[in-house]
Amino acid sequence: MQSRRCSGEAPAWTALLPRSQPAWLLPRRALPGERLARTPSSATTCSQFVRVLGVFAVFMLLGTNALAQGPTGVGRTPTEEEIRAWDISISPTGEELPPGQGTSEEGRLVYRRQCASCHGADASGGSGPRLVKRDVQPDHPWDFGRILPIRAPYATVVWDYINRGMPLNREGTLTADQVYALTAYLLFINDVIAEETVLDAESLPAIEMPNRDAFARVPDWQPGKPRLAGYPH
């Protein structure tokens, strides 16, 4: 269909076009014996306008694509340093543990300054969850309560949790020595290790946690498969 914009005199913007134009901007010539429908001047203007518009659209598309992958767009490759800073997970074997060490006595001091305000002076009774086991005769480690330094299957989990998540709102501010000391303190007040035990990258993974074998085996996941039968959470 002929648009109204394409009829009549050449509009002012055509003055910006170069005098000698590239082949893709030139109007189509009449074939032998053919009569073009419009006068040369309006036909020229119309086809030039449509072609310029088309080329502009292609450039816009290419442009936005390139921007999306460029330095100001969405996403970029992280640097080695950034990956190292994020990569703080500690596995049960503890091979990722950093150098450092700490005892329960050192941990008690750090706890008093940085943890007691939320978890209570005696590791219970604060606004945060209690961190010391209940005074009960247990049939099972779970009977002591949902206490991480008892229920965790590996002592490295306790280290990792404190290191990545505590103190709440000031995460990442503890030194490796402080995390070893706090882990020693929490494991000591829960009777998992002796008071004088020195925790470091070697002794920590060697601790046998009381709840080590009491976790249900996670079933192999398949699409649409329901949760573990009888799982309460």
Q: What are the residues binding ligand HEC (CB under 6 A)?
A: 114-115, 117-119, 128-129, 131, 146-148, 161-162, 166-169, 182
How many CB atoms neighbour CB 135 within 10 A? 6
Extract the runs of DSSP E, i.e. beta strands, from the chain: 101-102, 199-200
Give the nearest distance from C-beta 74 to ligand HEC in angstroms. 31
Of 46 and 150, the one with the shorter C-beta distance to ligand HEC is 150
Minimum CB distance to ligand HEC, residue 170 (Å): 7
* Residue where the block lists tokens 């996941």: 221
Name the residue nearer to ligand HEC (CB basis): 119 or 188. Answer: 119
Which is closer to ligand HEC, CB of 101 or CB of 114? 114
Q: Taking the complex as a whole, how short is the minimal distance between the CB of residue 209 and ligand HEC, in angstroms? A: 13
CA atoms of 26 and 227, how far apart (whole Å): 68
* Contact between 93 and 205 (Cβ < 8 Å): yes
Closer to ligand HEC by CB, 49 or 161: give it: 161
Please state, in angstroms and rounded to a whole number, the distance separating the CA atoms of residues 149 and 186: 6
Q: Smallest distance, Å, CB 200 to ligand HEC? A: 18
Nearer to ligand HEC, 94 or 167 (CB): 167
Beta carbon of residue 225, minimum distance to ligand HEC (angstroms, whole number)? 27
CA distance 162 to 170: 11
**Which token pair is 213?**
């074998």
Cα–Cα–Cα angle for 168, 170, 174, nearest 5°?
Answer: 105
| Between 45 and 151, CB nearer to ligand HEC | 151
In whole angstroms, give the CA distance from residue 207 to residue 29.
89
d(CA 112, CA 121): 7
Minimum Å gap between C-beta 206 and ligand HEC is: 20
Beta-carbon contacts of 13 under 8 Å, excluding residues fewer than 6 positions away, are none
